[in-house]
Amino acid sequence: MQWSRRSGTSKGKVLIDKIFCYGLAMDDQKYLYVTDIAQNAVRRYKIGEKNGTLVAGGHGAGDGLNQFDEPIKIFVDQQQAVYISDNRNHRVMKWNKGATAGIVVAGGQGQGSALTQLFTPIGLVVDALGTVYVADTWNSRVVSWPKGAKQGNIIAGGNGEGKQPNQLQYPVDLSFDRHGNLYVVDWDNSRVQRFSIK
């Protein structure tokens, strides 16, 4: 759905339908990227287009480098590379523009709590240096994976599930402000937390 911020209307315009979408992102050229959980794919749409272009996945559910098993959230960088949290494969995939397969940039070592693993990742952000920040949901932590790293670093949570300020309970999304503060949707605690990341 699309709503105009200027019109003051409560009616939205359907842009894409018949899709089981969970995540979306827009690039600098105003293309809309959408995850389709039912098709295990990511499609790119020009506003007004109904079919879109397949940019990642679309080869059925699986753990191959050209597959997903429940793609959830998405991030698109300046080069139109697409990063996807591949939820049931416990990994984050990067698909460069025009690629026919992705590369694992975080996790991919099965579900678990080791620093080489993720457990149902959902929200993600990628900075200008290529560091991937992941809401590692069932591990109740946020992990950063510098470009090319074989393991992540815990930057928030990771102190067991709980309600204390240094704890998270199923984080599902995250964002940074221009000052480098990290904001985390701490889902099961019904709160948003802010962390100062140095």
Q: Are strands 91-95 and 181-186 parallel, antiparallel or unpaired?
A: unpaired
Q: What is the pLDDT of residues 59-101, one digit of tens each?
A: 999 999 999 999 999 999 999 999 999 999 999 999 999 999 9
Please report whether residue 169 resides in a domain.
yes
Rounded mean pLDDT of the chain?
93
Q: What is the pLDDT of residues 1-42, one digit of tens each?
A: 455 666 566 677 777 777 778 899 999 999 999 999 999 999
| 3-state SS assignment for residue 9 | coil
Please report whether residue 186 resides in a domain.
yes
pTM of the model: 0.91
Please report whether residue 10 resides in a domain.
no
Rounded distance, CA 157 to CA 186, Å? 10
pLDDT of residue 167: 96
Structure tokens at 26: 């827009």
Q: What total number of domains does the chain contain?
A: 1
Q: Tell me the residue range of the domain where 148 lies.
A: 21-196
Q: What is the pLDDT of residues 96-148, one digit of tens each?
A: 999 999 999 999 999 999 999 999 999 999 999 999 999 999 999 999 999 99
Is-contact 168 138, C-beta < 8 A?
Answer: no
CATH number at 175 reads: 2.120.10.30
Neighbouring CB atoms inside 10 A of 86's CB total 27
Helix H, strand E, coil C: the string for 126-151 is ECCCCCEEEEEHHHCEEEEECCCCCC
